[in-house]
Amino acid sequence: VDFDVKDQSLAARGKVRIEWAGAHMPVLAAIRDRFAKEKPLDGLRVAACLHVTTETANLMLALQAGGADVSLCASNPLSTQDDTAAALVEYGIPTFAIKGEDNDTYYKHIDCVLDRDPAITMDDGADLVSVLHKQRVEQMSRIVAGTEETTTGVIRLRQMAADNVLKFPIVAVNDTPTKHLFDNRYGTGQSTLDGITRATNILWAGQHVVIGGYGYGGRGLASRARGLGAQVIVTEVDPVKALEAVMEGFRVMPMIDAARIGDVFITVTGDKDILRREHFEVMKDGAIVANTGHFDVEINKDDLRALTTETREVRDHVVEYLLEDGRKVYLLADGRLVNLAAAEGHPAAVMDMSFADQALTVEWLAKQAGPLKPAVYDVPEDIDREVARLKLQTMGVAIDELTPEQVRYLGSWQEGT
């Protein structure tokens, strides 16, 4: 096996950890079992550029079980787990990823997987697609299709499609309900509070927790923070979302008012400057600020620094900013995704569904009779339902089926009057 990993001796530990994750990814395991029998991906060359984690390892093994010839590189220089990478090599999967690799190595690793002449690409941020379109144009005619895991990647790709520069079809796995309804809501909600707890060991009960943004991430956070006894305050710019928050019993107010009240602030909006100079100026002494949105722009660190006379790390991932007026503000994880920085990101049980979507999407692509036109595609609704069905089954939950009479009734709704 061709590979470039940190230390092959870490493989044993990696295997145990991959198994643990796998035990909490039963949908993917069921798909892997079926793949092993049916070999639907026989001989299909798949190049994946994903976070090299134990969850991703289980996806790779499922594709491999299905007969695919898979290779993997990292989608971020910092997120690689070196023991996982070593274990994957032992499992016979060409893997190119070293935690902390420099930029050149990062792109060299992308070349390594593309050199294997894949028919399918799997992206987490569109880097494979991007390199192909920029530097490896000759190879694109042999690409059947790709998949994309992230919001950011999907937005980029839709723009490329709109500009007519996208040269092969991509399925937007991110956008399917079994991905974003669960991952963004339950995954983010729990793991963000987990990250803040590990960083600070604060008691949530009775705290004023200010949540910037009431999208799916914000809803999950608000629900979980209340579940831990916090008094939740929501800020929003969209009146319909704001009203939903009010009707759920949360306090809603502008950030400038919330800034005076909050003990803990969490941003999750997708926009910049949610917390900025005017907010830092009025925060209570001891306020804790964290971000769980994708980029580290939601908390304006320049503004915070401009008010600061001194900083020091008081716990791992907790930096104290001593402001000119003597107040202290605590910034977690330097404003980066606190659930990944201070905890372990989304639990395997959530990635189970996202990666089951990925595996079934690759199978669906492999089964297409003829070529798809270059465009951004939704995950077929059947796959979404199948993933939900399998998840319920593996949790031991049965549900009803419509009777023929019920189906008929739904089809002739007007008769009900």
Q: Name the residue nearer to a second copy (CB basis): 9 or 201.
A: 201
Closer to a second copy by CB, 41 or 233: give it: 233
CB of 242 to a second copy, least distance (A): 5
Alpha carbon distances (Å) from 340 to 12, 355, 385? 24, 18, 29
Give which of 258, 263, 260, 199 is closest to 225, Cα–Cα: 263
Query: To which residue do tokens 């976070």 refer?
Result: 51
Q: What sign has the CA pseudo-torsion 114, 131, 110, 173?
A: negative
Q: State which of residues 33, 42, 271, 378 lies at the interface with a second copy (CB under 8 A).
A: 271
Q: Does 78 bind a second copy (CB under 8 A)?
A: no
Side by side, the strands of the sheet bearing 145-148 are: 95-96, 69-74, 45-50, 120-123, 145-148, 170-172, 376-378
Q: How many CA atoms lie within 13 Å of 254's alpha carbon, on the beta-carbon side?
A: 4
Q: In the bound complex, what is the minimum distance in angstroms from residue 23's beta carbon to a second copy?
A: 6
Residue 212 φ then ψ, to 5°: -85, 105
To a second copy, the closest distance from the beta carbon of 174 in angstroms equals 14
Q: For a second copy, which is the closer residue by CB, 240 or 369? A: 240
CA 187, 190, 195, 196 dihedral sign is: positive
Enter the tokens of residue 226: 């209340």
d(CA 87, CA 78): 18
Which residue in the set 144, 211, 318, 379 belongs to the binding site for a second copy (CB under 8 A)? 318
The type of residue at 125 is G
Cβ–Cβ under 8 Å, residues 320 and 295: no
Which residue has tokens 């987990």? Answer: 194
Q: Is 395 in the site for a second copy (CB under 8 A)?
A: yes
Q: Looking at this protein, which amino acid is placed at residue 395?
A: M
Which residue from 35, 96, 216, 250 is in contact with a second copy, where contact means CB under 8 A? Answer: 250
Residues across the chain: 417
Buried b (16+ CB within 10 A) or exposed e, 227-250: eeebbbbbbbeeeebbebbeeeeb
- Three-state SS for 375? coil
Instruction: Return the residue of 163, 302, 325, 397 that touches a second copy, per CB under 8 A.
Output: 397
Which lies closer to a second copy via its Cβ, residue 249 or residue 370?
Answer: 249
CB of 101 to a second copy, least distance (A): 18
Binding-residue pattern over the window 149 to 188 for a second copy, x denoting contact by CB under 8 A = ---x--xx--x-----------------xx--xx--xxx-
* Among positions 8, 197, 303, 327, the unique one binding a second copy when judged by CB under 8 A: 197
Q: How far is the CB of 207 from a second copy (least distance, A)?
A: 8
> CB of 1: closest distance to a second copy in angstroms?
25
Q: Hey, which residues between 331 and 360 contact a second copy (CB under 8 A)?
A: 343-344, 346-350
Give how far Cα 342 sits from Cα of 28, 322, 336, Å: 27, 22, 10
Could you say which of 30, 36, 161, 246 contacts a second copy (CB under 8 A)?
Answer: 246
Q: Which of residues 7-36 bind a second copy (CB under 8 A)?
A: 16-17, 19-20, 23-24
- Residue from 164, 249, 325, 367 in contact with a second copy (CB under 8 A): 249
Query: For residues 62 and 258, which CB has a smaller minimum distance to a second copy in the complex?
Result: 258
- Using the rule CB under 8 A, which residue among 14, 40, 125, 335 binds a second copy? 125
Q: Which of 244, 307, 322, 327 binds a second copy (CB under 8 A)?
A: 244
Stretch that binds a second copy, among 62-70, 85-93, 233-241, 301-309 (CB under 8 A): 233-241
